[in-house]
Amino acid sequence: MKNKLFRFLMVMMIGVTILQPISARAEFPYDGQSSSIAEAASAVTLMNDGVRLYDKAKINEARAQLVSLFRQNSNSDELKFLIAKSYEQEANIIRCYDREQQGLSHSQTENLRSEEKRLAEEGLPYIQSLSSKYQENANVLTVESILFTHKINGMASGMKNGPKAKRLLEKALRLEPNNARVLAAYGRMFVFNPSFAGGNLEKAEETYKKVIELDPKLTSGYIMLARTYFKKNKLKETGIYLHKALEMNPDNKEAQLLLEKYGVGKS
């Protein structure tokens, strides 16, 4: 293999898809400069808090700390990855929580779409600077892919960015076919994207059933399956899977919001 990847232990940010904790033991780009990771620990903790609370201000503060460290150590691949991940996480909150709020005006929705796209555009250079060096790293491929999906806000951008995102995630899945979190990220395209950009509810249902099978503790799998069922007008199933998500994490704000918005219950 061209790229030599190392394992390091750290409390990593939350979630590739719908803000879900991932394993503290994960394989990420590592350039041997462990001090940059140690110094970033407080920022990572702050980002975890921001994601858990759906607090974009905390994520912004964490990113500011990471960028400050990066200015002192611009060769750190870890910091590039963490900064890109912070942009992805904030964009995830906009896509999955802010834009789901009831009573938004058209202008408010468009402003959120624009902000989501801005975050993606600012985050992409960090992760793309790693792409050629870590071509066989599923985590790098997944973050880059998700940022491309956050650039989609219409037909033209969907046709441009949808195929790129799909190719990256397909490669990530070839590398790690049983990685539930990579598969969950792949499935989000089927749910959120319009049909011309790869949206497909049948594939979404199949994908998230497999995600749950691979990792029954992954809350995002249940939430995304619920979203899929709502779009298929299967309200009973929508309620069942949102309640399953809340049984696992009663404080999950996204599941709470969707349960109220969709007006669904267990029966």
Q: What is the CA radius of gyration of the chain?
A: 18
What is the average per-residue pLDDT within 155-176? 87
Whether the per-residue pLDDT at 107 is higher than 90: the answer is yes
Instruction: Name the pLDDT band for 28 (thresholds 50, 70, 90).
Output: low
What percent of the chain lies above the pLDDT cut of 70? Answer: 85
What is the average per-residue pLDDT within 171-189? 92
Q: Tell me which of 157 and 110 has the higher pLDDT.
A: 110
What is the average per-residue pLDDT within 136-154? 90
Q: Tell me which of 36 and 130 has the higher pLDDT.
A: 130
Whether the per-residue pLDDT at 132 is higher than 50: the answer is yes
Q: Which numeric CATH code is attached to 200-267?
A: 1.25.40.10
Whether the per-residue pLDDT at 18 is higher than 50: the answer is no
Answer whether 28's CB lies under 8 Å from 8's CB. yes
Whether the per-residue pLDDT at 36 is higher than 90: the answer is no
The residue extents of the domains of the chain are 6-179, 200-267
Whether the per-residue pLDDT at 185 is higher than 80: the answer is yes
Whether the per-residue pLDDT at 32 is higher than 90: the answer is no
Name beta bridge partners: 21: 14
What's the CA dihedral at 204, 208, 214, 217 to 10 degrees? Answer: 160
Dist CA 13 CA 4 (whole Å): 23
Lowest mean pLDDT among 62-66, 148-152, 231-235, 258-262: 148-152
Dist CA 133 CA 140 (whole Å): 10
Answer whether 168's CB lies under 8 Å from 148's CB. yes
Mean pLDDT of the chain: 84
Of 172, 120, 152, the closest CA to residue 128 belongs to 120
Question: With the C-alpha atoms ordered 55, 56, 61, 66, is the resulting torsion angle positive or negative?
Answer: positive
pLDDT of residue 12: 29
What is the average per-residue pLDDT within 152-175? 86
pLDDT of residue 153: 79
Whether the per-residue pLDDT at 8 is higher than 50: the answer is no
Instruction: Name the pLDDT band for 130 (thresholds 50, 70, 90).
Output: very high
pLDDT of residue 265: 62
Of 78, 50, 76, the closest CA to residue 62 belongs to 50
